């Protein structure tokens, strides 16, 4: 019917899915960014419309490049330093900038851990640190994208110029322009390094020598031209302002051009309007400090100890100039470098994931500590799933935190566990083991989406076992799906996607899922010609009945068919299994169920509507049979699972035959014998018709 296709590869894609989500999140942030950009700004480079108006954009870009060149010349005169000769020995078409060159030094997960371990920071400081990092990361991402698009556009222009027989002079101009952007990127990079150093000197961060910087992945979406324009203005103005203040460290080397402490925050504000609007950057109070880059003006992420640090290169460069030459010659923009960059991006992505996880964890810890310190009675009463929604709500209202329900103990975020208050104890802090929630014995009250959603981010990133039973989670997964049905593989994926905890020990929890699916009556397996999927019967879930051990699956007859079906998924299991060999009939049955407001199948794809009459007939027959028998045993094949009894998958276009319909159904109906069957009773004492067939 549906989900069969593409399910096989999903199980191994749990993390990639996770990546996908993260990327999507980033896109959203980017979108917010765009919203915050004033529309009256004129684009410096019309990237989006570069094909339509390349001349205009290139003109503007060239102007920018000239401007920067002028500034550089001025700096040369001031500082007396010489810039590396960039254009004389390089092909105009190759002005390579590695991705790593654009990468800032942001805090690695290890560093974050270090901060946490040092415990010298107040939660507020940590918050500030996180926000600053986020702003910087965003900043860097935008710059990378900016550069990427610039390069694409310039290449396009160069191609056009080549075809049009342009003069080499223009090519050189373009190359100059590109260099300008490259230097701009370097500028931003140094800006961020400065920020990092600032953090270091404030004692917020300890960076081990040789600790790798954490580069950032480029975003698939970059800044819009207005942002670029504004960025350029800001950066250049900061640059110029720096010059006018007479700072000697504004040398030619762009690594030192933006040491003004106002520059980072200013630029951040411009580049991250979202952050600025929510006040994140308001806590950023950078100090005006001298930079290590002043002492090491030729520092470069790809250059250290006289060795090129391009991945896999390690070429020895005597000085920085030779390194630059080497960089531009050996690591030009070609397929190899691009591939290496891609690899590096993937590495970065993984690191970012880790960072995100740790950030979430930190956030949760901070939030929890804050709540605990201010509201010791925040969660004193055991939260039961029975009232999880309301309790969650009240708890949410009681907490002033933006992340009020960020779970705090590894075992009980928003703990619906009936095990007492969520207080951090030594055991609770370190026990990630099976803390099991216990439902009411009579009611298997389902968890709501809110239960999970409120802690969704936490569970996604923290390897904390969710305090929900497998059955609840499986139900949630199924109900969250658009069609309220999932294949086993999709259930797996949901688990890995939603819970970091379930990204490990797959064999264990997957087995548990399968066991639960089989064991709980509420989970109904439906087959079609494409495979099988699982649905959930919520009523049955609330009943919390299990399919009895040691007994073949059977159903409990009820007053009417609808209730019977709604409350006895095993019946449907049997029926579906039995009918699966006849797809049209199966569809008709489902359609009939849908007609009778059987919620289970209302969302499923329905089969041929002309078969509804047959399904109704079947239904009537079932009703009649049950009226007469009112028995409880329905297993189609005692001693054998339904699937074993009839294994009819993938039979296509079988002609609809009432006789065939009657066969499996009779198995369902005729197996009911005991008139005094207690619905809520176990089956143990009931006679099992092992030899029914």
Q: Which of 1, 3, 7, 538 binds DNA (CB under 7 A)?
A: 7
Query: Residues 481, 485, 486, CA angle at the centre, nearest 5°?
Result: 85
Report the C-alpha gap between 460 and 449 in whole angstroms: 15
Query: Is residue 525 within the footprint of DNA (CB under 7 A)?
Result: yes
Our CB check for DNA shows the closer of 272 and 532 to be: 532
Query: Is residue 647 within the footprint of DNA (CB under 7 A)?
Result: yes
Q: Which of 514, 562, 596, 692 binds DNA (CB under 7 A)?
A: 514
Q: How far is the CB of 473 from DNA (least distance, A)?
A: 8
User: Under the phi-then-psi rule, with left for phi > 0, alpha for psi from -120 to 50, and beta for the rest, what region is 473?
Assistant: alpha
Query: Is residue 470 within the footprint of DNA (CB under 7 A)?
Result: yes
Task: Enumerate residues 6+ apart whose C-beta is below 8 A from 558.
Answer: 564, 567, 568, 626, 679
Report the C-alpha gap between 264 and 189 in whole angstroms: 11
Query: Is residue 572 within the footprint of DNA (CB under 7 A)?
Result: no
Q: Which of 250, 251, 256, 532 binds DNA (CB under 7 A)?
A: 532
Q: Which of 228, 625, 643, 668 binds DNA (CB under 7 A)?
A: 643
Our CB check for DNA shows the closer of 121 and 522 to be: 522
Helix 488-498 / helix 470-480 crossing angle, nearest 10 deg: 100
Query: Is residue 489 within the footprint of DNA (CB under 7 A)?
Result: yes
Using the contact rule CB under 7 A, the part of the chain among 263-271, 306-314, 510-518, 618-626 near DNA is 510-518
SS3 681: coil
Exposure of 112 in the CB half-sphere (CA atoms within 13 A): 24
Query: Is residue 363 within the footprint of DNA (CB under 7 A)?
Result: no
SS3 199: helix
Do the beta carbons of residue 593 and residue 601 sit within 8 Å?
Answer: yes
Q: Which of 269, 365, 649, 656 binds DNA (CB under 7 A)?
A: 649
Query: Is residue 692 within the footprint of DNA (CB under 7 A)?
Result: no
Query: Is residue 549 within the footprint of DNA (CB under 7 A)?
Result: yes
CA distance between the termini of the chain: 31
Do the beta carbons of residue 43 and residue 226 sit within 8 Å?
Answer: yes
Q: Which of 416, 544, 557, 569 binds DNA (CB under 7 A)?
A: 544
Q: How far is the CB of 692 from DNA (least distance, A)?
A: 14
Which residues inside 433-452 make contact with DNA, applying CB under 7 A? 434, 436, 438-439, 441, 444
Query: Is residue 497 within the footprint of DNA (CB under 7 A)?
Result: no
Our CB check for DNA shows the closer of 513 and 622 to be: 513
Using the contact rule CB under 7 A, the part of the chain among 65-73, 361-369, 541-549, 579-587 near DNA is 541-549
User: Which of 8-17's residues contact partners 24+ apart within 8 Å by CB, and which partners?
Assistant: 8/489, 10/489, 10/490, 10/492, 10/493, 11/489, 11/492, 11/493, 13/493, 14/492, 14/493, 14/496, 14/497, 14/503, 15/353, 15/496, 15/503, 17/493, 17/496, 17/497
Burial class of residue 610 in the structure, from the number of CB atoms within 10 Å of its CB (0-12 exposed, 13-18 middle, 19+ buried) = exposed
Which residues inside 395-434 make contact with DNA, applying CB under 7 A? 418-419, 434
Report the C-alpha gap between 592 and 612 in whole angstroms: 6
Q: Which residue bears the tokens 């004193």?
A: 380
Report the C-alpha gap between 87 and 94 in whole angstroms: 10
Q: Which of 202, 221, 518, 689 binds DNA (CB under 7 A)?
A: 518
Q: How far is the CB of 419 from DNA (least distance, A)?
A: 5
Q: Which of 332, 450, 519, 692 binds DNA (CB under 7 A)?
A: 519
Q: Which of 534, 555, 561, 601 binds DNA (CB under 7 A)?
A: 534
Q: Which of 72, 178, 487, 632 binds DNA (CB under 7 A)?
A: 487
Which residues of the shown chain bind DNA in the complex (CB under 7 A)? 7-8, 11, 418-419, 434, 436, 438-439, 441, 444, 468-471, 487-489, 492, 505, 507-512, 514-519, 525, 532, 534, 544, 546-547, 549-553, 573, 641-644, 647, 649-650
């Amino acid at each position: 019917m549906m989900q069969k296709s593409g399910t096989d590869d999903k199980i191994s894609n749990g993390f990639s899915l996770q990546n996908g989500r993260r990327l999507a999140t980033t896109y959203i942030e980017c979108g917010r960014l765009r919203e915050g950009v004033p529309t009256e700004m004129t684009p410096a480079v019309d990237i989006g419309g570069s094909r339509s108006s390349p001349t205009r954009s290139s003109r503007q870009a060239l102007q920018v490049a000239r401007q920067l060149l002028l500034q550089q010349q001025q700096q040369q005169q001031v500082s007396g330093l010489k810039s590396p000769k960039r254009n004389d020995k390089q092909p105009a078409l190759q002005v390579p900038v590695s991705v790593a060159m654009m990468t800032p030094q942001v805090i690695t997960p290890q560093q974050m851990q270090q901060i946490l371990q040092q415990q010298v920071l107040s939660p507020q400081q940590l918050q500030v640190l996180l926000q600053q990092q986020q702003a910087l990361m965003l900043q860097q991402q935008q710059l990378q994208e900016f550069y990427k698009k610039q390069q694409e556009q310039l290449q396009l222009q160069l191609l056009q110029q080549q075809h049009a027989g342009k003069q080499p002079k223009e090519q050189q101009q373009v190359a100059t322009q590109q260099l300008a952007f490259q230097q701009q990127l370097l500028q931003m990079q140094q800006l961020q390094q400065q920020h990092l150093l600032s953090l270091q000197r404030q004692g917020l961060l300890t960076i081990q020598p040789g600790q790798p910087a954490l580069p950032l992945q480029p975003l698939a979406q970059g800044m819009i031209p207005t942002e670029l324009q504004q960025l350029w203005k800001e950066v250049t103005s900061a640059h110029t302002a720096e010059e006018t203040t007479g700072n000697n460290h504004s040398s030619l080397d762009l690594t030192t051009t933006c040491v003004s402490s106002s520059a980072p925050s200013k630029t951040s504000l411009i580049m991250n309007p979202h952050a600025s609007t929510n006040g994140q950057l308001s806590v950023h109070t950078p100090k005006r400090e001298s930079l290590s880059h002043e002492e090491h003006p030729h520092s470069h992420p790809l250059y250290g100890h006289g060795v090129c640090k391009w991945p896999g290169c390690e070429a020895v460069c005597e000085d920085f100039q030779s390194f630059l030459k080497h960089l531009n010659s050996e690591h030009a923009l070609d397929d190899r470098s691009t591939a290496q960059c891609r690899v590096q991006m993937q590495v970065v992505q993984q690191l970012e994931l880790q960072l995100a996880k740790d950030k979430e964890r930190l956030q949760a810890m901070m939030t929890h500590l804050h709540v605990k310190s201010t509201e010791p009675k925040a969660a004193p009463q055991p939260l039961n799933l029975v009232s999880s929604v309301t309790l969650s709500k009240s708890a949410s209202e009681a907490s002033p935190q933006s992340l009020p329900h960020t779970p705090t103990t590894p075992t009980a975020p928003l703990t619906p566990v009936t095990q007492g208050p969520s207080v951090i104890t030594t055991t609770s802090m370190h026990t990630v083991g099976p803390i099991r929630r216990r439902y009411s014995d009579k009611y298997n009250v389902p968890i709501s989406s809110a239960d999970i959603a409120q802690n969704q981010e936490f569970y996604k990133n923290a390897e904390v076992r969710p305090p929900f039973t497998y059955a609840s989670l499986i139900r949630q997964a199924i109900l969250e799906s658009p069609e309220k049905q999932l294949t086993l593989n999709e259930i797996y994926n949901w688990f890995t996607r939603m819970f970091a905890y379930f990204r490990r020990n797959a064999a264990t929890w997957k087995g548990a899922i399968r066991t639960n699916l089989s064991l709980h009556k509420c989970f109904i397996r439906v087959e079609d010609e494409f495979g099988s999927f699982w649905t959930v019967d919520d009523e049955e879930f609330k009943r919390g009945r299990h399919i009895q051990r040691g007994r073949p699956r059977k159903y409990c007859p009820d007053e009417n068919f609808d209730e019977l079906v709604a409350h006895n998924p095993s019946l449907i299991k049997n029926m579906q299994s039995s009918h699966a060999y006849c797809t049209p009939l199966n569809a008709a049955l489902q359609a009939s169920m849908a007609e009778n407001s059987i919620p289970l199948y209302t969302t499923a794809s329905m089969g041929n509507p002309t078969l509804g009459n047959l399904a109704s007939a079947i239904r009537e027959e079932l009703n009649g049979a049950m009226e007469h028998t009112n028995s409880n045993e329905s297993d189609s094949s005692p001693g054998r699972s339904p699937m074993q009894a009839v294994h009819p998958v993938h039979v296509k276009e079988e002609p609809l035959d009432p006789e065939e319909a009657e066969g499996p159904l009779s198995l369902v109906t005729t197996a009911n014998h005991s008139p005094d069957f207690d619905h809520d009773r176990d089956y143990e004492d009931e006679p099992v018709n092992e030899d029914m067939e």
